[in-house]
């Protein structure tokens, strides 16, 4: 139970409450590590902003994202995890035990830490995009493409991920209207070639999204050509945003090894970071798969790595 002690010590601290954090909490509780988990500002993580999840095993009829995350939390609580509302606002990983400040006021020390802070999709920040989010607007083709089988869809983005997602959608949807802001793509040559050779991907160069149209669900996208300054409405049932993700790793900057985009680097095949006793799992260290099931799997890895580390150090 949480105490009023401003300098509480915990054996294992888990930061983040998405599929990775809760799975780590389930495993760590069952290993008797008495984990304390801080949920952050989005209890349940990214799946709380989506509707139907159909690809997480164990739910044959599919499930609403927020409901699924309540199940994760209940399971972690039942196993004994101490789940708390609060945000890690700064950390000191330079000496053991590690120090973590919660909400800029409470200081904790921890023998080991599991970081499961996820990543956030970048959006265009159009009001219509936000209004129709979950009603045809999505930042994840692998998650939501299936719902638009045989339909016309649009995707905005020009990097490798956008190219990959456009190719993924081209196998499900009748046509993929790909909106590229410049006269060229950032994607690698090989990905561009694949996109340009796919007959049902139609690329619109120099094209900016002005508005996503539709009352209750996406019906079209309004696109402006920034060379000719003309607009056109393209009828589509879904609008995919593939302009990148931002890993939530800011508070660890300068203390943990990261790649240039800010993803925490882990030793391949493990959840170990460059700091002993600090583990990372889920989307904050994975820019390739970014799925609930892979996040959960890596949360399991982090708990097992933490258990081995703690039992070797404090046996
Ligand atoms: C719209 C949408 C639909 C999706 N649909 C699907 C789908 O159908 N199927 C699927 O498999 N995947 C889907 N995904 C992807 C899936 O949601 C992610 O891969 C998964 O949630 C990643 O889990 P995670 O635990 O790594 O992080 P997240 O779910 O991102 O959770 C991160 C957690 O960390 C917390 N946090 C962040 N910073 C701090 C801090 N400083 N202190 C404390 N806590 C912190 C947040 O509050 C949050 O609880 C979807 C994603 C989106 C955006």
DSSP H helices, the chain, are 19-30, 65-78, 127-131, 141-144, 160-170, 189-196, 292-313
Closest atom of ligand 1 to CA, residue 39: 44
49: pLDDT confidence band, cut at 50, 70 and 90?
confident
Output the pLDDT for position 243. 95
Residue-wise pLDDT for 263-295, tens only, equals 999 999 999 999 999 999 999 999 999 999 999
Distance CA 20, CA 115 (A): 9
Mutate to test the pocket of ligand 1, among 58, 104, 117 (most ligand atoms within 8 A of CB): 117
Output the pLDDT for position 50. 83
Q: Assess whether pLDDT exceeds 80 at residue 2.
A: no
CB 187 within 8 A of CB 171: no
CB 40 less than 6 A from any atom of ligand 1: yes
How confident is the model over 121-140, as a mean pLDDT?
A: 94
The chain-wide mean pLDDT, for the chain, equals 95
Q: Assess whether pLDDT exceeds 90 at residue 3.
A: no
Distance CA 127, CA 200 (A): 29
Q: Assess whether pLDDT exceeds 90 at residue 201.
A: yes
CATH code of domain 123-241: 3.50.50.60
Q: Measured in angstroms, how far is the CA atom of residue 219 from the centroid of ligand 1?
A: 27
268: Cβ contacts below 8 Å, ≥ 6 apart: none
Strand partners, 154: 177, 239
Q: Measured in angstroms, how far is the CA atom of residue 183 from the centroid of ligand 1?
A: 33
CB 156 within 8 A of CB 243: yes
Domain boundaries defined on the chain:
7-120+245-314, 123-241
Catalytic residues: 140, 143-144
Q: Measured in angstroms, how far is the CA atom of residue 132 from the centroid of ligand 1?
A: 19
CB 277 less than 6 A from any atom of ligand 1: no
Q: Assess whether pLDDT exceeds 70 at residue 146.
A: yes
Mutate to test the pocket of ligand 1, among 16, 48, 303 (most ligand atoms within 8 A of CB): 16
Q: Assess whether pLDDT exceeds 70 at residue 6.
A: no
Output the pLDDT for position 220. 98
314 versus 241: the higher-pLDDT residue is 241
Q: Assess whether pLDDT exceeds 60 at residue 222.
A: yes
CB 145 less than 6 A from any atom of ligand 1: no
Distance CA 3, CA 13 (A): 15
Q: Assess whether pLDDT exceeds 90 at residue 5.
A: no
Q: Measured in angstroms, how far is the CA atom of residue 287 from the centroid of ligand 1?
A: 12
Q: Assess whether pLDDT exceeds 80 at residue 205.
A: yes
CB 55 less than 6 A from any atom of ligand 1: yes
DSSP H helices, 145-291, are 160-170, 189-196
Q: Measured in angstroms, how far is the CA atom of residue 289 from the centroid of ligand 1?
A: 12
CB 248 less than 6 A from any atom of ligand 1: yes
Residue nearest to atom 44 of ligand 1 (CA): 40
Output the pLDDT for position 200. 98
1: pLDDT confidence band, cut at 50, 70 and 90?
very low
How confident is the model over 198-217, as a mean pLDDT?
A: 97
Topology (CATH) of 7-120+245-314: FAD/NAD(P)-binding domain (3.50.50)
Distance CA 141, CA 169 (A): 7
64: Cβ contacts below 8 Å, ≥ 6 apart: 51, 52, 53
Residue 77, classed as helix, strand or coil, is helix
Whether the ω angle into residue 31 lies within 30 degrees of 0, i.e. cis, is no
Q: Measured in angstroms, how far is the CA atom of residue 142 from the centroid of ligand 1?
A: 15
CB 298 less than 6 A from any atom of ligand 1: no
Residue-wise pLDDT for 91-122, tens only, equals 999 999 999 999 999 999 999 999 999 999 99
Residue 203, classed as helix, strand or coil, is strand
Model's pTM, two decimal places?
0.90
Chain centroid offset of residue 102 CA: 22
Mutate to test the pocket of ligand 1, among 35, 90, 143 (most ligand atoms within 8 A of CB): 143
Distance CA 161, CA 164 (A): 5
Distance CA 212, CA 63 (A): 26
Instruction: Tell me whether domains 7-120+245-314 and 123-241 share a fold.
Output: yes
Output the pLDDT for position 82. 98
């Amino acid at each position: 139970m949480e105490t009023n002690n401003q300098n509480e010590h915990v054996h294992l601290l888990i930061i983040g409450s998405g599929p990775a954090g809760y799975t780590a909490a389930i495993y760590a509780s069952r290993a008797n590590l008495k984990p304390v988990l801080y949920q952050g500002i989005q209890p349940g993580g990214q799946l709380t902003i989506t509707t139907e999840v159909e690809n997480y095993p164990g739910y044959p009829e599919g499930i609403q994202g927020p409901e699924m995350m309540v199940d994760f939390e209940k399971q972690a609580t039942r196993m004994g995890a101490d789940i708390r509302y609060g945000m890690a606002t700064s950390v000191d990983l330079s000496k053991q035990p590690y120090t973590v400040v919660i909400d800029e006021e409470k200081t904790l020390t921890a023998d080991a830490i599991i970081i499961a802070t996820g990543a956030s999709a970048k959006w265009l920040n159009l009001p219509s995009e936000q209004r129709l989010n979950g009603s045809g607007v999505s930042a994840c083709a692998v998650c939501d493409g299936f719902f638009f089988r045989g339909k016309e869809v649009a995707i905005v983005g020009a990097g490798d991920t956008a190219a990959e997602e456009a190719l993924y959608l081209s196998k499900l949807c009748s046509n993929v209207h790909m909106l590229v802001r410049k006269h060229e793509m950032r994607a690698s040559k090989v990905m561009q070639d694949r996109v340009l050779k796919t007959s049902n991907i139609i690329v619109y160069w120099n094209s900016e999204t002005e508005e996503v149209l539709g009352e209750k669900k996406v019906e079209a996208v309004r696109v402006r050509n920034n060379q000719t300054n003309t607009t056109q409405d393209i009828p589509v049932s879904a609008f995919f945003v593939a302009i990148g993700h931002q890993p939530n790793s800011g508070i660890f900057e300068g203390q943990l090894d990261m790649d240039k985009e800010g993803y925490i680097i882990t030793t391949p095949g493990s959840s170990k970071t460059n700091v002993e006793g600090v583990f990372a799992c889920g989307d904050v260290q994975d820019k390739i798969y970014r799925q609930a099931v892979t996040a959960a799997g890596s949360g399991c890895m982090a708990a097992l790595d933490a258990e081995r580390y703690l039992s070797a150090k404090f046996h």
